[in-house]
Amino acid sequence: MDDSYYYGEDGLRCEDVVLSEIAGSVGTPTYVYSYGALEKAYREIDEAFSGLDHMVCYAVKANSNLSVLHALASFGAGADIVSGGELYRAMKAGFDPKKVVFAGVGKTEDELVAGLGERILLFNVESASELEHLERFAARHGKRARVSLRVNPDVHPETHAHVSTGHGASKFGIPVEEALALAERVGEYRCVDLIGVHQHIGSQITKLAPYAESVEKSAQLVDELKHRGFDIKYFNIGGGLGIRYKDEEAPSPRELVDAIRPILEALGTGGTKILCEMGRYIAGNAGVLLTRVIYRKRSGGKNFLVADAGMNDLLRPSLYDAYHEVRPVQDGAAAVPADLVGPVCESGDYLARDRDLPDAAEGDLLALMSAGAYGFSMASNYNSRPRPAEVLVKGDRWAVVREREHLADLVKGELVPAFL
Ligand SMILES: *Cc1c(COP(=O)(O)O)cnc(C)c1O
């Protein structure tokens, strides 16, 4: 639990705000984010790179709320985006386009053109075809495209298969062997400048060795490209640093950077700036999901706590079998072996399974900890459930930063044609 969350006399707090007050006022389910925790995590990463020419980009997909983005932009962060929608959000939140890097295997024409229009810092190109398209659109619109090649260093990050991107058989990146051939082709392009190398091997990485190995492999490519006359100004090591959800021993940003510092320093001496793009590490422990227990029941010899939040609000337990700590908002509840499940009509709809959970009564509030990353951003309207409200806390102040959806939002844009 991040130390922005702690128990006071009046129960669990986020910074100086009592969580039951937020739930009472805004209802549940509600995501709550700590401004202080966001800032602390961002600065921790930034300071880990001190002494190196670097920029910390925030991976927008982890938590793309405008206020969260606005806070990160104000700390000086860059933005790592993976869609035109994220570009739109990043621009609205005030990120400097000169600090925006754009990744993704399937960028469409509209997305590439939008990025060119904003003159973003770098497109992280993932295939020969994408590079060709970028050249064509840049020429058509009279723009230049600054490009990093996203290489696939073929390293297994030892994380969940769904969030593992850096092994040979993944759809992401260009094999190191092919990257050199592709680079040579860039010479034929008039509107593309190859100025970077990018890698991102996966998410929730808790082991240093594969991360360091991948950086070493990709850095060799940087050296080789420089040797061949390319002015590689940027080396992007990606994101993916893991956080503690339960008892994981994830390396700190400093431990990560120190493990690869000699490699990064050598590149720095050659004029290459280091980029990273962390999402989960910045937002994960800064957020919780507040939910209320609606019913308790026993079935098949098991205890069930039925909450008003479900897999549509927080997908990670169902999708990745992820663990989120469950805390009572009022301290002191005994533990009970139980499942915490949601109201969605799927057996896979659970928030915590076969666990010792707070012995909460109907009506009690629970907090799902470490829900700030890939929480709301993966929420859906499945079962026609309005998505939760989002609240940002800063010191003793708090504000709703996204309203709970209304029923009318559920059918927004839907049309019934005249032939019905
Ligand atoms: C998702 C993603 C990230 C961020 O991953 P985290 O695990 O949240 O740090 C960084 N870079 C790219 C290209 C991504 O797709």
Of residues 158 and 1, more confidently modeled: 158
Of residues 170 and 270, more confidently modeled: 270
Q: Measured in angstroms, how far is the CA atom of residue 384 from the centroid of ligand 1?
A: 29
The predicted structure's pLDDT at residue 333: 77
The pLDDT of 47-53, averaged and rounded, is 97
The predicted structure's pLDDT at residue 157: 82
Assign 1 a pLDDT band (cuts: 50, 70, 90): low
pTM for this predicted structure: 0.97
The predicted structure's pLDDT at residue 195: 97
* Nearest-angstrom CA–CA distance, 68 and 91: 13
The predicted structure's pLDDT at residue 166: 73
The pLDDT of 91-102, averaged and rounded, is 98
Residue 164 DSSP class: B
Assign 163 a pLDDT band (cuts: 50, 70, 90): confident
Assign 332 a pLDDT band (cuts: 50, 70, 90): confident
**For helices 66-75 and 84-93, angle between their N-to-C axes, nearest 10 degrees:** 60
Q: Order of strands, edge to edge, in the sheet holding 17-18?
A: 5-8, 11-14, 17-18
C-beta of residue 364 within 8 angstroms of C-beta of residue 12: no
Q: Of 30, 29, 33, 24, which Cα lies nearest the Cα of 2?
A: 33
Flag whether pLDDT at 326 surpasses 90: yes
Q: Is residue 29 reached through a cis peptide bond, with omega within 30 degrees of 0 on the bond before it? A: yes
Residue matched to tokens 């300071």: 47
The predicted structure's pLDDT at residue 162: 78
Please write the tens of the pLDDT for every residue from 347-362: 899 999 999 999 999 9
What are the residue ranges of helices labelled H in 94-168?
109-118, 128-141
Which of 57, 63, 64, 82 is the pocket-test mutation for ligand 1 (most atoms within 8 Å of CB)? 82
Which atom of ligand 1 has the smallest separation from the CA of 124? 13
Which atom of ligand 1 has the smallest separation from the CA of 202? 7
Q: Measured in angstroms, how far is the CA atom of residue 266 from the centroid of ligand 1?
A: 25
Q: Measured in angstroms, how far is the CA atom of residue 294 from the centroid of ligand 1?
A: 35
- Which residue in 14, 57, 276, 345 is the catalytic one? 345
**For helices 253-269 and 35-48, angle between their N-to-C axes, nearest 10 degrees:** 40
Flag whether pLDDT at 403 surpasses 80: yes
The predicted structure's pLDDT at residue 413: 98
Flag whether pLDDT at 142 surpasses 80: yes
Q: Which residue has the CA at smallest separation from atom 10 of ligand 1?
A: 239
The predicted structure's pLDDT at residue 271: 93
The predicted structure's pLDDT at residue 21: 98
CATH 2.40.37.10 segments of the chain: 5-33+284-406
Residue 14 designated active-site:
no
Q: How many CB atoms neighbour CB 357 within 10 A?
A: 23
CATH code linked to domain 5-33+284-406 = 2.40.37.10
Residue percentage of the chain with pLDDT more than 70: 100
End-to-end CA distance of the chain: 53
C-beta of residue 149 within 8 angstroms of C-beta of residue 196: yes
The pLDDT of 329-346, averaged and rounded, is 94
CATH 3.20.20.10 segments of the chain: 64-278
Q: Measured in angstroms, how far is the CA atom of residue 59 from the centroid of ligand 1?
A: 6
**Pocket, ligand 1, Cβ cutoff 6 A:** 59, 61-62, 80, 82, 103, 200, 203, 238-241, 277-281, 373
CATH code linked to domain 64-278 = 3.20.20.10
Assign 171 a pLDDT band (cuts: 50, 70, 90): confident
Which of 278, 281, 376, 378 is the pocket-test mutation for ligand 1 (most atoms within 8 Å of CB)? 278
Q: Measured in angstroms, how far is the CA atom of residue 386 from the centroid of ligand 1?
A: 27
Return mean pLDDT, the chain. 96
**3-class SS at 344?**
coil
Which of 38, 44, 56, 61 is the pocket-test mutation for ligand 1 (most atoms within 8 Å of CB)? 61
